[in-house]
Amino acid sequence: MSGTLHGKRPKVAIIGLASCFGCQLQITNMEPHLLSLLDQIELVHWQLASSDPLPEDFDIAVVEGAVTTKEALETMRRVRRRASVVIALGACAVTAGIPGIAAPEFDDHLQTVYGTQVPQAAGNVISPVPISQVVPVDWEVRCCPIDPADFMAALHRFIVGSNKLPSTATLCGECKRNERGCFYGRGQLCMGLVTRAGCGARCPNLGRACNGCAGLSPQANVAAARRMAQDAGIGEARFNTALQLFNSVELQAGA
């Protein structure tokens, strides 16, 4: 759907579901570019900045957070009907992220937290899912939190058009291009073996192992990664626990 808005100044709605709102806060960290961006769009709704209801008319919906209630599910269906473009913002929207940890054995988790009666304020809770499992998504801005530059690029994709394809390789390739040593050689767990590339391996560049916040790469060999963790003395069980941090919903579906 690249370039579908034909150069007009699009109306943008930024919507928050189940998340920490950290990715929306990242947008405010774009100080050098924020005013320039606001000149290119008409910001008609931003849940972080105003409690006004979602308007009827908008072109681009930027959605942060996982779908965890029936109310959120209906909100996404309504948003998809209105918007020409839906952008998933951050790990919670893309993979269900941290809320998605509750997806396996959801009913048991629900009872552990709330007992036999879920508070009315929690809404009609459902097992967490990414927004792509509810409605079609046109573009994903990955990671936790997002890189503001990736958010800018996503909006420009639909304002002026782009034929750039999303990354599909694993993060290990980016580490090699950055000439970083492998954490596994030091007996340290790293999820770059199976995580989708595209962030430039920022955490490894800072000396921190990847935690997998960009989600699973479609080229990932999870079984081989488990064996490598075992051979490195880290253990398959520890690898599996780390893998679930941002990928529980996908793993539950059989990845």
Q: Find the helix or strand (DSSP H, E) in which 161 lies.
A: none
Whether residue 16 is predicted with pLDDT greater than 60 in this model: the reply is yes
As a whole number, mean pLDDT of residues 24-46 equals 90
Token reading at 29: 């960290």
pLDDT score of 50: 87
Residues of the chain with CATH 3.40.50.700: 11-160
pLDDT of residue 7: 57
* Overall average pLDDT of the 55-71 stretch: 97
**Beta-carbon count within 10 A of 37 CB:** 18
Helix (H, G, I), strand (E, B), or coil: what is residue 8? Answer: coil
At 171, is the secondary structure helix, strand, or coil? coil
Residues 112-145: tens digit of each pLDDT:
999 989 999 899 999 999 999 999 999 999 999 9
* Rg (alpha carbons) of the chain, rounded to whole number: 19
The distance of Cα 32 from the centroid of its chain, to the nearest Å, equals 24
Share of the chain above pLDDT 90, in %: 80
Confirm if 137 and 86 have CB atoms less than 8 A apart. yes
Check residue 6 and give its pLDDT: 58
Tell which residue, 225, 221, 233, has the closest CA to residue 188.
233
pLDDT tens digit sequence for 236-253: 999 999 999 999 999 987
Tokens found for residue 124: 């009609």
Q: Give Cα separations from 250 to 6, 69, 219 (angstroms).
A: 35, 19, 14
* CATH superfamily of domain region 11-160: NADH:ubiquinone oxidoreductase-like, 20kDa subunit (3.40.50.700)
In this prediction, residue 248 carries a pLDDT of 95
In angstroms, the Cα distances linking 151 to 28, 55, 71, 82, 90 are: 11, 22, 26, 21, 9
For position 4, what pLDDT does the model report?
47
**Residues present in the chain in total:** 255
**Over the stretch 141-182, which tens digit does the pLDDT of each residue have?**
999 999 999 999 999 999 988 888 899 999 999 998 988 889
Query: Residue 169 in 3-state DSSP?
Result: coil
CB within 8 Å of 14: residues ≥ 6 apart: 24, 27, 43, 45, 46, 47, 48, 62, 64, 89
pLDDT at 34: 84
Looking at residue 76, its pLDDT comes to 98
Q: Residues 94-103: pLDDT tens digits?
A: 999 999 999 9
